[in-house]
Chains A and B, each alone.
Chain A
């Protein structure tokens, strides 16, 4: 049983640290970005780490969440909580529409997912839909701007996400997902419904990205389609999760704290240097450490939360 408590302990520690951080460090937007990427990297972990399907277009759900939030505020007059629910629903609906992509094997799934995210962006940013989405001209939600509240929402989403990953790591359902990842046919013969398991993981993963996207829209309140659908979100989530090690709780957290830390240190002024660093890291990781930093411990038989 103490495995669960180790996992829970780490989750609580991270959530509490991020919750009290604004009272110690004044750059709240930077802290928000950390919280956002912690959730996104773990959200990606839910689908990639536990089922092996790499959503290269993960930002599609994030953007759907951000625009779901914005449209609910602009057209329906919703307050932030309601708008957040609309954003989350938009991401989940998009995920449902994309479930046929699971018919594709790994590499094709990743590329088709990338294309799907790009297609959603092309629709949202299309000048022909200016009346609905404001097209390429971006949205302004200054009426709901409330950085303290949106930060709190982001921390709550992080808490939900980490609990979800703890559950996946310690439940029979999580075990069944890992079985599907290892071999779908053996898993089916073990009585696991492969379609159901994958779909649930997929929808949960999209739900997280949608919620994070909603909180992002609330936090920044003015944004453009190319911000909300920036491939950078998918790229960072993938890189952070891979760097630390997927299917663990620690790995993606470690990836965000280290790499996003480096990004904020050198990446913002000279993004190309950061791009070079993570590009090199990815190549090196795949060749020499495909299971991420935590595998330095796990391959020695040490259990990492």
Chain B
């Protein structure tokens, strides 16, 4: 694999909160169009990892390289324009704006290059078209999550960071969401997916990285991960020395 083929290269990423090492030297790579799942117990650093890559937090060490250029320390709005976007665990859409205005802003300010986005088509594909002219505050929480995804997609990202999108969705919504993400990936959008629901991870990802205490302890497919003694120990209880 030539280094140029990598879309995202994360190397020895560190993040501390006071004395707590949320990320303790995490490294992994992502290829264009690849969907990588980040799994691990609570507090293992999954969401922190997304927060550092997306520029919400500054890292304390290591580097993040996107399409061959270092991006750690870059402001969030510039990352959006470079082609990196994300969804939030608890979405905060622009509540007083209409659904359509929510995505318009994103398309206008955050567009990462390439063909112009068909916003009506985007809303239709996410089943938000019927609500296009309603205020975002009138949507239910599942719809607000979808709108958060729409806001990210309206910038036409090449890398999408997905933070617990499935939490709070019912099984039918969950299936549709998995199909949507898979379709996006098949069209070439790379993703980093943080999720607790293993069924969802299984449907969406090509490969997983397992984190524990801010370090990666495994990389491979989910099926392999479930056979790995380290992973089993971490998931079945830290009391056994893990």
Q: Do A and B bind each other?
A: yes
Residues on A facing B (Cβ under 8 Å): 172, 175-176, 178-179, 182-183, 185-194
User: A176, B109: Cβ atoms under 8 Å?
Assistant: yes
- Among B14-22, B62-70, B98-106, the stretch that binds chain A is B98-106
Of the listed residues B85, B108, B109, B148, the one surrounded by the most CB atoms of chain A closer than 10 A to its CB is: B109
Interface size class of B (residues with CB under 8 A): 20 to 34
User: A175, B80: Cβ atoms under 8 Å?
Assistant: no
For B54, the closest partner residue in chain A by CB is A189
User: B80, A172: Cβ atoms under 8 Å?
Assistant: no
Cβ–Cβ < 8 Å partners of B110 in chain A: 189-192
User: B97, A191: Cβ atoms under 8 Å?
Assistant: no
> Beyond A176-B109, A178-B96, A178-B97, is A189–B80 a contact (Cβ under 8 Å)?
yes
Closest beta carbon of chain B to A23's beta carbon, Å = 41
Closest beta carbon of chain A to B118's beta carbon, Å = 17
- Kindly identify, within residues 88 to 120 of chain B, every residue whose CB is under 8 Å from any CB belonging to chain A: 88, 91-97, 101-102, 104-106, 108-111
User: A187, B86: Cβ atoms under 8 Å?
Assistant: no
Can you give 18 A-B contacts (C-beta < 8 A)?
A172-B104, A172-B105, A175-B101, A175-B105, A178-B97, A179-B102, A182-B95, A183-B93, A183-B94, A185-B92, A186-B91, A189-B54, A189-B152, A190-B77, A191-B109, A192-B77, A192-B110, A194-B77
Cα–Cα distance between A185 and B93 once the two chains are bound (Å): 10
For A192, the closest partner residue in chain B by CB is B109
Residues on B facing A (Cβ under 8 Å): 54-56, 75-77, 80-81, 85-86, 88, 91-97, 101-102, 104-106, 108-111, 148, 151-152, 154-155
For B101, the closest partner residue in chain A by CB is A175
Cβ–Cβ < 8 Å partners of A182 in chain B: 92-97
Of the listed residues B55, B93, B105, B108, the one surrounded by the most CB atoms of chain A closer than 10 A to its CB is: B105
Cα–Cα distance between A186 and B151 once the two chains are bound (Å): 9
Cβ–Cβ < 8 Å partners of A192 in chain B: 77, 105, 109-110
User: B92, A191: Cβ atoms under 8 Å?
Assistant: no
Cα–Cα distance between A85 and B6 once the two chains are bound (Å): 54
Cα–Cα distance between A172 and B94 once the two chains are bound (Å): 14
Cα–Cα distance between A241 and B96 once the two chains are bound (Å): 19
Cα–Cα distance between A183 and B93 once the two chains are bound (Å): 7
Closest beta carbon of chain B to A68's beta carbon, Å = 33
> Beyond A172-B108, A176-B109, A185-B92, is A190–B155 a contact (Cβ under 8 Å)?
yes
User: B76, A185: Cβ atoms under 8 Å?
Assistant: yes
> Beyond A172-B105, A179-B97, A188-B80, is A193–B85 a contact (Cβ under 8 Å)?
no
Cβ–Cβ < 8 Å partners of A188 in chain B: 55, 75-77, 80
Cβ–Cβ < 8 Å partners of B80 in chain A: 188-191
User: A179, B105: Cβ atoms under 8 Å?
Assistant: yes
Closest beta carbon of chain B to A54's beta carbon, Å = 17
Cβ–Cβ < 8 Å partners of A189 in chain B: 54, 76-77, 80, 85-86, 110, 151-152
Cα–Cα distance between A188 and B108 once the two chains are bound (Å): 12
